[in-house]
Structure 1
Amino acid sequence: MTIEFVDIVVDARRLTIEHEWLSPERRDQPLMVFLHEGLGSVSMWRDFPAKAVDALGWRGLVYSRPGYGRSTPRPSDEAWGPDFMHRQAQQVLPALLQALGIDAHRDPPWLLGHSDGGSIALLHAAAFPAQVAGVVAMAPHLFVEELSLASIARAREAYLHGALRQGLAKHHADVNSAFWGWNNAWLSPAFRPWDISDELGTIACPVLAIQGEDDEYGTLAQVRRIAARVKATTVLPLPECGHSPHRDQPERVISAVSSFVQPGR
């Protein structure tokens, strides 16, 4: 694993972004950008991105959002508002692509996002419809469900009193930055009405929406809502699968992604 760092500027603030290129020598092949979950990072993807791009014969880009991994941490006094995923989709990701010399106008990348990363991928595709070739959204959130909030509240208890903090500390230079940015934002009363459903109508690319049927953080209503808003949506429910399809059923997910992005292959 070769980790690199690049600086971007968002809201007049300089941020350092941890990232990794996968098979960059395939410069003439499409690019898949991977967007991690609400507690994720480059390292928490493990080997899934490499296996996915190898199956496709593509290039890949994995990065840690600000506040995560070894990217610039969230200041301890900074509370993320209900728009935190919008900011990632509409400000941070475009700035990162530009800093890395990716011309999304000329060669739109594909986006593969998990959980919050899936929501960010959808929001980016909605804001820049001509600059995204397609979206794979695994366990994305479009609106707030009580199931999600209950699981996020349990995560708080596990972080405070269980082994979650120790496990996450292996993947984040500032583990409190990663956990409390995400947890406090989701459990804030101001986040309860959050709903991006009506923003997705501008998406012009195809979408593969994958949802585990045993997901403790969301139900099939999330991906069905995508299909109701975006015509070119394929919904893939996965039995015996929880919140992380790429960890629970990696071969099934890679096969589905391959069929989706390269139909008829």
Structure 2
Amino acid sequence: MPSLNPEGFLRVGAYDLEYRMIGPPPADAPTIVMLHEGLGCAALWGEFPDRLQAATGAGVLVYSRAGYGASTPVKLPRPLDYMQVEALEILPELLDRAGFRRGLLLGHSDGASIAAIYAGGVQDHRLRGVAMIAPHFVVEDISVASIAQIRKDYETSGLRAKLQRWHRDVDNAFYGWNSAWLDPKFRNWDISDYLAYIRVPVAIVQGAADQYGTLRQIEIASEECYCPVEVTILPGTGHSPHREAPDAVLDTISEFAGRILFSDQGSRGQAV
């Protein structure tokens, strides 16, 4: 397939998904595919993807899932298994359309959970590793409490106006995520079974002061994974370590990616 343009849309099923391709295309180098959090989008990664590309020499693909950024909105309410649907139905087609040949997934929060489901559920030979920032494998009380609070903030403070800058349909983005997590039936959501089927190295970055999850998530990964799991816990850091401690996260992820994706420094930036 032809090389990706630096930015544009990929048609996946019924959705047009916006993307940015930073650095070499998948045909020319390994690719790091970044999956955003529950209120994120491609643009909300800020400069982190560009810095990651510069640090690794890999191509970096960021995209907005349906309902986020400039991508097609989704029908609400989202199904409670929306992350499984994303990982097992949407992401495989997106990677194919992007021309993904070899690389790793890097996800934050919901995106990290989607990456874990994909790695355990698809068994893609092209995938060489998974990096997760603040992942969720089960629902905790702290998660529900913080998500209930952010709904109040969205409806009573300036949060909606701030998010509106980033999303084509801000209510679609917010309530699609928030209503699913606050549904009482969602308390039974548990993706830990997928972890036992991951066959590639895993790196997890977790803020010690994460307001959406505790170190129990790390314990679950350590208990369930048979693959190597490297854990970096950042003290005094909340749910978005790549924003709160970007240098530390960049160092951790770029070292992991370089070691996993490139056989030696001389091959950096070249497909192998």
TM range (shorter): over 0.9
The superposition leaves residues 47-105 of structure 1 with CA deviations (integer Å, 9 ceiling, x where unpaired) of 10110111001101000000100100023xx2112210001101111111122232xxx
Return closer, same or farther for 1:26/1:185 CA change in 2, 3 Å cut-off.
closer
Return closer, same or farther for 1:98/1:262 CA change in 2, 3 Å cut-off.
closer
1:33 counterpart residue number? 33
The superposition leaves residues 201-258 of structure 1 with CA deviations (integer Å, 9 ceiling, x where unpaired) of 1100000011100100001110221121113111111101110010011110111112
| Among 229, 233, 241, the residue aligned to 1:233 | 229
Report the TM-score when normalising by structure 1.
0.92
Q: Is this contact kept in 1: 2:108–2:135, CA < 8 A?
A: yes
Aligned pairs (5 A) from 1:218-257: 218-231=213-226, 232-257=228-253
Aligned length: 255
| Among 98, 122, 126, the residue aligned to 1:100 | 98
* Percentage identity across paired residues of the two chains: 42
| Among 255, 269, 272, the residue aligned to 1:259 | 255
The superposition leaves residues 6-65 of structure 1 with CA deviations (integer Å, 9 ceiling, x where unpaired) of 2111xxxx2110001001358432100000000000111111011011100110100000
Q: Is this contact kept in 2: 1:224–1:235, CA < 8 A?
A: no
Aligned pairs (5 A) from 1:38-187: 38-75=38-75, 78-102=76-100, 107-129=101-123, 130-187=125-182
Tell me how far apart the structure 1 counterparts of residues 78 and 26 of structure 2 sit (CA, whole Å).
37
Return closer, same or farther for 1:26/1:108 CA change in 2, 3 Å cut-off.
closer
Tell me how far apart the structure 2 counterparts of residues 26 and 226 of structure 1 sit (CA, whole Å).
29
Q: Is this contact kept in 2: 1:32–1:110, CA < 8 A?
A: yes
Gaps of 5+ in 2: 266-272
Higher relative CO (CA 8 A, sep ≥ 6), structure 1 or 2?
A: 2
The superposition leaves residues 88-136 of structure 1 with CA deviations (integer Å, 9 ceiling, x where unpaired) of 101111111122232xxxx332000000000000000011223421011
Letter in 2 for 1:79: P
Letter in 2 for 1:3: E
Q: Is this contact kept in 2: 1:70–1:173, CA < 8 A?
A: yes
2:7 counterpart residue number? 3
Report the TM-score when normalising by structure 2.
0.90
Query: Aligned to 1:262, what secondary structure does the other structure show?
Result: helix
